[in-house]
Amino acid sequence: MNREQLERAVKLLGDEIAVIVPYATFGTAIDLSVYNKLQEQGIPVVIDAAASFGTITPEEAAHFGKGFGGAVVFSFHATKSFGIGEGGLVYSLDQDLIKRIRQAGNFGFSSSRESVTQGLNSKLSEYTAAIALAALDHFKAVRENRRTIYEYYLQELIQADLLDRGWSLQKVQGSVVHQFIPILSPDPYSNQEVVALLASNSIEARTYFSPACHQQKQFQSYSHFTLHVTEHIAKHIVSLPLWEELDEITVRRIVNVLGSLGKETTR
Ligand SMILES: *Cc1c(COP(=O)(O)O)cnc(C)c1O
């Protein structure tokens, strides 16, 4: 999140702010100090750490989010590195907040089963919890495996000279259990063109997260500052395939297709 724009928004909106939701992009360990300060000023912060389960911070070598006074929300949805079907985890240093979240997720009941707050039923099912425990047993191997695949990509992208030809990978802070391989296409080419080129080579890729939030129907009417960087990314971002059996040869094939962009051969 752009720090200057954040500061401007906080000044402009003041008491109107209900919550600030920064995204720990694709699992990277973002610096939480500025958000801790906002929390201390009484502005609630919820970190969208959907893809960050297993992320280790570079400085303290601790799990991402540790010590944060707001809420850090991890997703266990099927598309995540720690996918158990559906579900997630909320971490906070604030034990009272956790207590209130537990209450809200249990029909808003107090310990005497009196409804004391607005609530819903958000409990993880026993069955899903059993899947989570089984997934946890393999998580170390999953981390290593995904790191190896990420390194194949890095190696092939360097080998094919693509990082010097305008393609760029996300800057990653800390050690991340990679969910996707997000990459930006070079300026003349949109992500749609890249996805179409890959598809014509029988390779499926997605455009997480494009269109950006403010470009979507549900949010278009809300006010926002200029979001040039977001819009640039939304036009160029591609999530390359990552599945756990992906081998080096397939990664090379995918990268070679990227390298052929704009070099349509005529026969
Ligand atoms: C997956 C994801 C979500 C949604 O998580 P759920 O567990 O499905 O609610 C939210 N934000 C980001 C950035 C995600 O990647």
* pLDDT tens track for 63-108: 999 999 999 999 999 989 999 999 999 999 999 999 999 999 999 9
Tokens of 107: 């029909």
**Distance between Cα 82 and ligand 1 center (Å):** 12
Per-domain residue ranges of the chain: 3-75+88-123, 139-266
Task: Report d(CA 180, CA 191) in Å as an integer.
Answer: 15
Contact yes or no for 48/21 (Cβ under 8 A): yes
- Ligand 1 contact via 206 beta carbon (within 6 Å): no
- The protein residue whose alpha carbon is closest to atom 3 in ligand 1 is 50
Render pLDDT for 17-51 as a digit per residue (tens, 0 to 9). Answer: 999 999 999 999 999 999 999 999 999 999 999 99
Q: What is the mean pLDDT of the chain?
A: 95
Task: Report d(CA 45, CA 22) in Å as an integer.
Answer: 8
Candidate of 23, 48, 179 to mutate for ligand 1, largest count of ligand atoms within 8 Å of Cβ? 48
Q: Which CATH architecture has domain 139-266?
A: Alpha-Beta Complex (3.90)
Fold of 3-75+88-123: Aspartate Aminotransferase; domain 2 (3.40.640)
H/E element, 147: helix 126-159
